[in-house]
Structure 1
Amino acid sequence: MHIQLGMLHGAALRMSAFFFLSGMLFSNRRFSTWKSYAQHKTKVLLVPYILLSLFFLALDPVLYQFDAFFPLSPKMNILGIYPDIQNAFQYLGWNLVKIFIAGKSSIGSGPLWFVFNLYAISLLFFAIHQFTSGRKIFLFLFALLCLGFGFFLNRFHLHFPFGFERICTTFFFFALGNLCKNFLLRFEKQKLFVLLLAFFFAAIFYAIFEKPDPNFSIMNNDLGKNFGVFILSSLSGIFALLALFLILNRMPSWKIILVFKGILRNISRNGMIILATHWWILLVLRIVFKSELDKPFWAWISLPIVFLGMIFFIPLFRSKLNRLIAKEKISWRESLSIR
């Protein structure tokens, strides 16, 4: 696309914040054994990851007009390999390798790599949490070890099946989120001006430390060359985001604030659908309308197209294709509700 819409400037924040928040929400109350926990996570994460990956692979236009569309499609990076693909059959085969071996989903639903990654680090964290009896110092030391090993693999461009290298890196943020839960509960009770100052300074630090890089990718464990900059930018960005959420929670119950909060809740409920479908829509636009969307003005047309696509896909998956995402069937009105 011609425009990046600020996405590069949020690269160090997006996925690290997601795994941090996931760690905050970790709980073993309902599932007290590793087996029961693994069965639950397999049902709600691994199975939807596989089914959605295959679903959007079946909708990939490259499979049906390979010669015309393959040159315009994103290039695959599988375990550090850029395969030489000559036909639709090979394209299909490498997509299956991408789904089941690399843990990165198909080209048509690329962002779903986070689902498999979350599945893996959730099971790993549960096991370590049980083994250490939840002792924070041991959890923190193991998280640091994982982070250091993940960055070591990044520096030497080493890749393993199932995204082992990015599992190491992202495990740190998941564990840190869990370890910081009590601190954030206390921080939430601070006065509003304290939250505002925290957000202001954290945002300033993020702007200082964050270095936009088009090659940065947690999915590929490509973290840049400076370990300190990566950590400082990620942590300051996470803290700024959390402070912003706490500030919004203190805001008066004005209608515009309630609407904004409702939109965020809807996004959190339907995040898996939104990430997969928005990427597929952009993929189709990139392939079919690339020449038009490379122009500065027409690039903005992609925004309402993606928005309308979400309005269509969210009810479709929640009311008709709910089994693909392991969700209970609800009406289209409920699926789009922002209350």
Structure 2
Amino acid sequence: MGNGTARIGWIDEFKGFVLLLVCLFHVEQAFPQAHMNMIHLSAMRMSAFFFISGMLFSTRRFSDFKSYFIHKTRVLLVPYILLSLLFLALDPVLYNFALFPKAPRMTIMNIHPHIASVWDYIYWNLAKIFVAGKSSIGSGPLWFVFTLYSVSLIFYGVQGFANAISQISSKHRRNKSGKAKADDETASKIIIAITAIASLAGGWLLYRHHIRLPFGIERDLTVLFFFASGYISKGIIQKRLCNKGKNRIPWSLVVATSATSFILYAATEIPDPNFSIMNNDLGKSLPLFLASSAFGIIGLLTAFIAVDRIPDILPLRIVKGILRNISRNALVILAVHWYILLVMRLLFRASINKPGTAYLSIAIVTTGVIVAIPLFRCKLYKLLGKEKISVSESLSIEK
């Protein structure tokens, strides 16, 4: 899982679904009259995405850190920078500063900047991109891409350190007893788990003391916990849930686990308008934050694995195809849907944000994204760090 070049269907569907929830949350943020209660899913969205990203972590194709660093820089950091700058250049506020009061507020490392001109606006947007790691106002959700880049590199070091320590310990035991007393992989995962817990504790302490660091280090510490949890869980998920065989958990039990997890999520999740992984605002209770995140992740994970086991009838195949397409075009969708919402918020918010009418924003965003996907995948593909593909490939919902 995550070691080969072939994409795993249910994981793409999982990622696509979470991205869809993110987009709908942003719609509701921009136009509150589009009531969807997305705030109730805040505890599971980003934690689930980083968990599944950890499951996909692999160094098999990379012989050393340098090659891994170059690859991640090409596919994550460079697109983050280029897309952030592109949508900053397209920001309507740059061309009509009178729109600034309607734009989302900026907070950069606990600084609420005073912006009195377009040049101030540009300066602080650049600070958001290059210092805070939160992208420009015009492409806000790309903070996730920068965080995934940072955490992937950090975890490479954590995993390498854990492997080295476990191998040294194993060699020492062999020298003393003639055989290893513990499996190297198990020992490595224990070290990773301890590091992840310490990292979460650090992220929580920084949150409680309202400390914001350059490049979003405080959120990296929090996110590393979920990323590492996904990596540690990969083996058992693959063996007990995904692989065929007598050891695989029965489908009925997978469904029951999913339903129970969602019920427990509903019981432990407490809506908080200030909750934000991006800002490392984690709520008032660490146990409740962890419990709701865990139940949400388990519920989503088992739900998509359960669906993956049933035959693909046509409606289900279409839904799966759409979610996979969302996953494959995540960079475009994250940036473009937000930019469309920003333009509507700046220019048409009063007329759109009305009961009933507000839901039209979903159709507008969907249409804009569908147009943008082939534009970026066929013409502006270098901004994404991807190869050029055809229009039909970019919009395909086939496997």
Q: TM-score, normalised by structure 1?
A: 0.98
Q: Distance in 1 between matches of 2:208 and 2:77?
A: 29
Cα shift readout 1:287-315 (whole Å, capped 9, x = no counterpart): 11110122112111101001101110111
**Superposition pairs of residues 43-192 of structure 1, within 5 angstroms:** 43-67=74-98, 69-133=99-163, 135-188=188-241, 189-192=248-251
Matched, 1:323 2:382: yes
For 1:205 and 1:187, the matched residues in 2 are separated by 22
Q: For 2:107 and 2:143, locate their aligned partners in 1 and report how far apart those are by CA, in whole Å.
A: 13
Change (3 A) 1:16 1:4: farther
Give the distance between the partners of 1:7 and 1:65, measured in 2 at CA: 32
Letter in 2 for 1:158: I
Mapping of 1:1-339 within 5 angstroms? 1-2=31-32, 3-67=34-98, 69-133=99-163, 135-188=188-241, 189-339=248-398
Matched-pair identity in %: 53
| Partner secondary structure for residue 296 of structure 1 | coil
The count of aligned residue pairs is 338
User: 1:201-253, CA deviations, whole angstroms, 9 ceiling, x for partnerless residues?
Assistant: 00001101111111111000001110011000001000000011111101212
Residue 202 of structure 1 aligns to a residue whose secondary structure is helix
SS at match of 1:101: helix
Task: Confirm or deny: 8 A CA contact 1:251 1:257 kept in the other structure.
Answer: no
Q: 1:94 to 1:219 in 2, by over 3 A?
A: same
| Equivalent position SS for 1:180 | helix
Q: CA deviation at 1:4?
A: 4.7
CA distance in 1, matches of 2:337, 2:346: 14
Alpha-carbon contact 1:76-1:83 (below 8 Å) kept: yes
Largest Rg, 1 or 2: 2
Letter of the aligned partner of 2:218 in structure 1? E
1:72-91 per-residue CA deviation (whole Å, 9 max, x = no partner) reads: 00000110111111111100
Root-mean-square deviation over aligned CA pairs: 0.9
For 1:291 and 1:229, locate their aligned partners in 2 and report how far apart those are by CA, in whole Å: 37
What SS does the corresponding residue of 1:74 show, helix, strand or coil?
A: coil
